[in-house]
Structure 1
Amino acid sequence: MFQIHPLPSEQFAHLATLTDSELAARNIQVHISDGGFPCRVSLEDAPAGARVFLLNFEHQPGNSPYRSRHAIFVQEGAEERHLPAGRLPASITSRLLSVRAFNSRDEIVEADVIEGVQAGDLITRYLEEPEVSYIHLHFARRGCFAARVTRT
């Protein structure tokens, strides 16, 4: 069984208090959602009209050649959504995904690109491998980090 993890809301709550010039100085863009901006905190697509922040985020801080950062969206005022074990949100299952399995040294040991509706089976299969410590999901088309997945 697996567990998907949202990013912590407190890590991004301060963004709503920043002025436009402060956001720009941090290379953070503000967009108005058209209903298709996947929030990494709520694990849902931000509803149309919602304010979202586009920012660079270090999703793979491990000390390996795979250390990485990329763009993510976070909806203003987003609250963490914790799903039951073994469940993936529609924001994940509705998109083409890059599924990357990492070992304890933060190195990729398995990877594939699949339709999100098939992700649960692939995640389960990867986590059955003893060498796999955790999984990162990325939205394959733009390469953005989507979520971290661990064993329950």
Structure 2
Amino acid sequence: MHFRITGLPAEPFAELFGLSDEALAERRAVRVVADQPHGYPCRVSLTDAEPGQSLILLHYEHHPVDSPFRSSHAIYIREGEQQYDRVDEVPDQLRRRLLSVRGFDGQGMLRDADVAQGTALEPLIERLFSDTKVSYLHIHMARPGCYAARVERA
């Protein structure tokens, strides 16, 4: 089964990088500098920031559905990144983490979910999509619980 993983589009976040720290705080966002490798995952490019790189940490509604599973969480974004959008490719950022993968139907209702190491993501995607009522998947970083990416059938 072919699948497509996408990060978030960059455009909705572009204006944030020009804001002052005070203006960011008014939007419940903060500017941070990565101080370790693999600790600051950009949700646009699905790459990890290198130590010393600046990011914005903000609250984001990643599942804006009209169901009890409507959801939001904190995410990191990095300036100048391009949206990850690939078929049958898992980015290194996801490969190196424990992931929670959730399958939703067309009404935004949870149909199934499981946890897997990123190195074993493809079999889990295939299993969840074997349910024909599953329309899309959301991948979350399992330990902090934050949204990482969307998966669709390709």
TM-score (norm 2): 0.94
Q: CA deviation at 1:106?
A: 0.4
Distance in structure 2 (CA, Å) of the matches to 1:80 and 1:35: 21
Q: CA RMSD in A?
A: 1.0
After the TM superposition, which segments of 4 or more aligned residues of structure 1 sit over 4 Å from their partners?
A: none
1:64 corresponding residue in structure 2: 67
Distance in structure 1 (CA, Å) of the matches to 2:83 and 2:111: 29
* Deviations 1:27-49, CA, capped at 9 Å, x for gaps: 10111112221101011101221
Q: Is the 8 A contact 1:66 1:107 kept in 2?
A: yes
TM-score (norm 1): 0.95
**Where do residues 1-152 of structure 1 align in structure 2 (5 Å cutoff)?**
1-33=2-34, 34-36=36-38, 37-83=40-86, 85-152=87-154
Residue 142 of structure 2 aligns with an amino acid whose one-letter code is: A
Q: CA deviation at 1:128?
A: 2.3
Residue 108 of structure 1 aligns with an amino acid whose one-letter code is: L
Distance in structure 1 (CA, Å) of the matches to 2:55 and 2:82: 13
* Deviations 1:35-68, CA, capped at 9 Å, x for gaps: 2211010111012211011111000001000000
Distance in structure 2 (CA, Å) of the matches to 1:44 and 1:150: 20
* Residue ranges of structure 1 left out of the alignment (5+ in a row): none
Distance in structure 1 (CA, Å) of the matches to 2:148 and 2:108: 17
Q: CA deviation at 1:77?
A: 2.1
* Residue ranges of structure 2 left out of the alignment (5+ in a row): none
Q: Is the 8 A contact 1:35 1:49 kept in 2?
A: no
| Helix, strand or coil at the partner of 2:85 | coil
Distance in structure 2 (CA, Å) of the matches to 1:119 and 1:61: 24
| Helix, strand or coil at the partner of 1:46 | coil
Q: CA deviation at 1:124?
A: 1.6
Aligned residues: 151
- Of the structure 1 ranges 139-148 and 31-40, higher mean CA displacement relative to structure 2 is found in 31-40
Q: CA deviation at 1:22?
A: 0.1
Percent identity between matched residues is 43
| Helix, strand or coil at the partner of 1:87 | coil
